[in-house]
C-alpha cells in the first residue's frame, strides 16, 4: 500500500488592484513522483559488458560515474601460470598510450599551436627532410601526416624524419605519428636541457635520455597526477598479465618485451585501475588540461581513435591491441595470442577502462560492445 504524502499545489490569485497573492491548497498524492526520464544503471552496464566478453580467458574493467568508482569486474585468468584476472594486474596498454601522449603534448600548447610545424621541435642533430619538418602537430595527432608504418624504434624514427613522404596526407593510422613525440616532448618541456644533452651525450645515450625523459614527463603530467604510482614501459615482474588465446584452442600465452625504447604510440604498462583513474581525471577535472584544451582535443580527435553517438551525446575513446603470431599466418588467426585495451568517456559523467587478456580469430568490436551496453543501460525507473 502506498503512503499518501501531503503536497502543496499553489496558484496565483489576481485582484483587480493588480496585487498578486498566492493561494495554496493541500492535496494527498503518492510519493515519490516519478519522471518519464531515463536513468543510467551501472548494474545493467556491467552485466551487458560481461555478456559481451564471454569467451575471453580473462578480462578486467572499471566503471566510474560522477568521479567515483561505481563498479569493477575481473573474470578468469591473466596468464598461463594461473595468475588471476585482476584490475590491479599490469598490462601493456598498447595504443591507449597515444591518449597519454596527446594529453602530455597539449600540456605544452601555450608554447605552440596545433597548426605549428614540428621541425623546430625535433632534435637538431637529426637529418630532417622538408616533408617531415613542415608537418604540423595536428597532422601527427590526427594520423594525417602521410607517414606509414608501425615500427617505432629510434632507427626507424630517424629514417622517417630524414625521408620524403610519398603517401597522401589522408587519415592512415600509424604508430610512428605518436612515437615521434618521444623525441619532441622533452624539448617542449625544456629546450635548453635537451640541447645540452644533445651536445654532451653520445647519440645512443641521447636517445636513451629522450626515452626516459618522455616516460618521466608522462608520469609527472598524467599518471601521478591521477594518484597513481610511477609507471614505465617494461613488464612488472610477476605482476604483468599475458597475451593469450581463447578456447577451444589449447591454452597458450606469453608476455611482451620491454618497450622503454619504443614507447609513444604504445607501450606503457599500467593496471586497469590506472587507466580508469586517467580517463576519469581527464573527463572530470582540469588537472591535466583546461576545458578549452579538452574541447580542442574532442573537436579534432587529438588522441582519440574513435568518437561515436551514444544515448545522450558522444563517446570519445581509444583502444589498443597487441598480438603474437603462433601459426605462421599473416594477421590474427585462431591460435594466435594477444590482448585488447580501451578507455572511453561517455555522456552523463560515465567512464570506462577495459583490458581483455586474450584474442580469438578476429578482434573484438570493442567500441560497438561498449556502445550497445551503454545504450541498454538507460531505463525508466
Taking only the tens place, the pLDDT of each residue in 239-291 is: 999 999 999 999 999 999 999 999 999 999 999 999 999 999 999 999 999 99
How many other CB atoms are found less than 10 A from the CB of residue 195? 14
Residue 10 has pLDDT above 90, yes or no: no
Query: CB–CB of 165/146 below 8 Å?
Result: yes
Cα distances from 269 to residues 77, 103, 130, 296, in angstroms, run 18, 17, 35, 27
Sign of CA pseudo-dihedral 154, 158, 163, 165: positive
* Collapsed DSSP state (helix, strand, coil) of residue 189: helix
> Average pLDDT, stretch 150-154?
96
Residue 1 has pLDDT above 60, yes or no: no
Residue 95 has pLDDT above 90, yes or no: yes
What integer pLDDT is reported at residue 281 of this predicted model? 98
pTM for the predicted model, two decimal places? 0.90
Given its phi and psi angles, is residue 185 left (phi above 0), alpha (psi -120 to 50 degrees) or beta? alpha
Segment 126-147, tens digit of pLDDT = 999 999 999 999 999 999 999 9
Fold exhibited by the domain 40-380: Beta-lactamase (3.40.710)
Cα distances from 160 to residues 136, 146, 264, in angstroms, run 15, 11, 15
User: Among 106-115, 232-241, 306-315, where is mean pLDDT lowest?
Assistant: 106-115
Q: Return the domain boundaries, the chain.
A: 40-380
Q: How confident is the model at residue 36 (pLDDT cuts 50, 70, 90)?
A: low
Q: What are the cell numbers at 178?
A: 605518436
Indicate the pairing of strand 243-245 with strand 358-359.
parallel
Query: CB–CB of 112/101 below 8 Å?
Result: no
Looking only at Cα atoms, what is the longest distance across the chain? 93
Mean confidence (pLDDT) of the chain = 91
Higher pLDDT, 3 or 31: 31
What integer pLDDT is reported at residue 171 of this predicted model? 97
Amino acid at each position: 500500500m502506498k503512503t499518501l504524502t501531503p503536497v502543496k499545489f499553489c496558484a496565483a490569485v489576481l485582484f483587480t488592484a493588480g496585487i498578486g497573492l498566492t493561494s495554496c491548497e493541500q492535496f494527498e498524492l503518492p510519493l515519490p513522483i516519478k519522471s518519464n526520464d531515463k536513468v543510467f544503471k551501472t548494474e545493467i552496464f556491467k552485466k551487458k559488458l560481461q555478456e559481451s566478453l564471454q569467451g575471453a580467458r580473462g578480462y578486467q574493467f572499471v566503471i566510474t560515474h560522477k568521479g567515483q568508482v561505481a563498479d569493477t569486474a575481473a573474470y578468469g585468468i591473466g596468464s598461463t601460470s594461473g595468475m588471476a584476472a585482476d584490475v590491479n594486474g599490469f598490462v601493456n596498454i598498447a595504443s591507449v598510450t597515444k591518449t597519454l601522449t596527446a594529453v602530455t603534448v597539449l600540456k605544452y600548447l601555450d608554447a605552440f599551436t596545433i597548426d605549428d610545424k614540428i621541425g623546430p621541435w625535433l632534435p637538431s642533430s637529426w637529418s630532417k627532410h622538408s616533408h617531415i619538418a613542415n608537418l604540423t602537430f595536428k597532422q601527427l595527432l590526427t594520423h594525417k601526416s602521410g607517414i606509414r608504418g608501425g615500427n617505432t624504434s629510434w632507427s626507424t624514427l630517424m629514417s622517417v624524419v630524414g625521408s620524403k613522404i610519398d603517401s597522401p596526407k589522408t587519415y592512415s593510422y600509424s604508430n610512428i605519428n605518436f612515437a615521434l613525440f618521444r623525441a619532441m616532448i622533452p624539448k617542449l618541456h625544456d629546450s635548453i636541457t635537451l640541447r645540452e644533452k644533445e651536445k654532451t651525450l653520445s647519440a645512443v645515450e641521447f636517445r636513451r635520455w629522450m626515452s626516459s625523459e618522455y616516460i618521466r614527463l608522462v608520469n609527472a603530467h598524467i599518471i601521478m597526477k591521477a594518484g597513481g604510482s610511477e609507471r614505465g614501459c617494461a613488464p612488472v615482474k610477476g605482476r604483468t598479465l599475458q597475451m593469450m588465446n581463447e578456447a577451444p584452442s589449447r591454452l597458450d600465452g606469453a608476455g611482451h618485451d620491454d618497450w622503454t625504447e619504443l614507447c609513444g604510440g604504445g607501450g606503457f604498462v599500467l593496471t586497469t585501475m590506472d587507466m580508469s583513474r586517467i580517463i576519469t581525471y581527464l573527463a572530470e577535472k582540469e588537472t591535466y588540461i583546461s576545458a578549452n584544451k579538452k574541447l580542442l582535443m574532442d573537436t579534432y580527435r587529438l588522441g582519440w581513435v574513435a568518437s561515436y553517438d551514444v544515448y545522450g551525446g558522444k563517446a570519445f575513446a581509444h583502444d589498443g591491441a597487441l598480438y603474437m603470431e603462433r601459426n605462421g599466418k599473416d594477421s590474427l588467426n585462431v591460435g594466435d595470442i594477444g590482448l585488447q585495451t580501451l578507455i572511453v568517456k561517455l555522456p552523463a559523467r560515465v567512464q570506462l577502462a577495459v583490458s581483455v587478456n586474450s584474442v580469438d580469430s578476429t578482434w573484438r568490436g570493442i567500441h560497438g560492445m561498449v556502445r550497445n551496453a551503454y545504450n541498454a543501460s538507460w531505463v525508466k525507473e
